[in-house]
């Protein structure tokens, strides 16, 4: 038996079809295929032409994008990627971790013989479109989409869902779809973050005076249009501080990775680390609760650039708490969310 089933009483020429399976698709932001400027240009072009990411008029944005950004930024970003590239596997760590998360999740859900686990990237490869088609062709009549973002933002969760539903347009036999909602306040997620902080700080011979919870920023205009991201970030940090049992003034919310001339959510991470050092704070730690896996924004922008800014401004000790990645606590969160959202299907 090859797992395919002939439809009973079907015409002789009817193709064999597979059905009765359930798919789970883990989806992260994306990654270039390599660290050369050509690969970075291709990746950035796909990312920065997404209307969910850049909401400016195309008449205003495209001349800037194609005339300036894509002619200057790829070479600069390529150098940064080169410093944090997984040389052993020849890929970004984001790809390495996401693949591992899918593999470990399959093992954790092995009691469900009907469930198929796969992974994709919103930008780059493997594409959402190709993976949805693969799951459908393997017999998945139902698919759970898991955008790997604890806090909801239109520029992250929504664009993953947009692309997923666009992929259905080309399918004659469309699977039923569920999407994982935000889980920024889920106790399992908060506990995993707290465990990661406590475990990391236990390896140090010093105590941070302040912990920054640095989230990827969004333009202030998006927030004013009703994006709930800002509020969800603050709630995550508040619950995390309560779980750790810390005073409110020991944990702060900041936002990083701003791009372009308009105002973004504040306070900015880079400015904050400089101000803290100049005002006498000597020891800080930074964690990125909104990133499921370490990537350029955490391994370079925080662990390298923010550290240099803090020490250069008078700080003495700086540590970056790694993302949950594919560790035990991180996988516990992913498994918990998937099991909850598969209720009624398995």
Burial letters for 15-49: b for 16+ Cβ neighbours within 10 Å, e otherwise? eeeeeebbbbbbbbbbbbbbbebebbbbbbebbbb
Tokens coding 265: 């959510």
Cα dihedral sign for 222, 341, 296, 320?
positive
Residues in Cβ contact with 297 at an 8 Å cutoff, skipping those fewer than 6 apart: 216, 256, 257, 288, 291
Q: What is the dihedral of CA 65, 69, 74, 79, to 10 degrees?
A: -150
d(CA 190, CA 196): 10
Token pair, residue 39, equals: 């690969």
Q: Is 216 annotated as a binding residue?
A: yes
- Element containing residue 25 per DSSP (H, E): strand 21-30
Q: State the Cα–Cα distance between residues 275 and 247, nearest whole angstrom.
A: 20
| 200 annotated ligand-binding residue | no
Task: Give the annotated binding-site residues for Fe(2+).
Answer: 216, 297
Task: Give the annotated binding-site residues.
Answer: 216, 297
């Amino acid at each position: 038996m090859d797992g395919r089933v002939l439809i009973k009483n079907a015409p002789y020429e009817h193709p064999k079809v597979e059905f009765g399976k359930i798919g789970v698709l883990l989806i992260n932001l994306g990654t270039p295929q390599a660290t050369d400027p050509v690969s970075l240009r291709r990746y950035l072009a796909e990312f920065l032409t997404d209307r969910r990411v850049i909401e400016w008029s195309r008449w205003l944005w495209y001349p800037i994008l194609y005339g300036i950004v894509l002619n200057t930024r790829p070479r600069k970003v390529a150098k940064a990627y080169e410093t944090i590239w997984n040389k052993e596997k020849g890929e970004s760590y984001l790809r390495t971790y996401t693949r591992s998360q899918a593999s470990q999740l399959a093992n954790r859900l092995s009691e469900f013989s009907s469930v198929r686990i796969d992974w994709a990237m919103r930008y780059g490869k493997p594409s959402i479109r190709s993976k949805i088609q693969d799951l459908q062709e393997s017999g998945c009549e139902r698919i759970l989409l898991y955008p790997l973002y604890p806090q909801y933002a239109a520029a992250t969760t929504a664009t993953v869902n947009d692309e997923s539903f666009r992929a259905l347009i080309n399918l004659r036999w469309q699977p039923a779809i569920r999407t994982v909602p935000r889980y920024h306040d889920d106790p399992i997620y908060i506990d995993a973050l707290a465990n990661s902080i406590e475990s990391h700080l236990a390896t140090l011979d010093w105590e941070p005076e302040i912990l920054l919870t640095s989230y990827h920023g969004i333009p202030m205009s998006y927030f004013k249009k009703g994006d709930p991201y800002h509020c969800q970030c603050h709630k995550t940090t508040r619950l995390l501080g309560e779980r750790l049992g810390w005073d409110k003034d020991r944990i702060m919310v900041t936002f990083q990775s701003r791009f372009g001339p308009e105002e973004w959510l504040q306070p900015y991470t880079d400015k904050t680390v400089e101000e803290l050092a100049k005002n006498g704070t000597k020891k800080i730690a930074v964690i990125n609760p909104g990133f499921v896996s370490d990537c350029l924004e955490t391994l370079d922008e925080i662990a390298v650039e923010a550290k240099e800014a803090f020490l250069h401004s008078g700080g003495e000790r700086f540590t970056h708490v790694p993302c949950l990645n594919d560790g035990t606590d991180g996988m516990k969160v992913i498994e918990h969310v998937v099991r909850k959202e598969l209720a009624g299907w398995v």
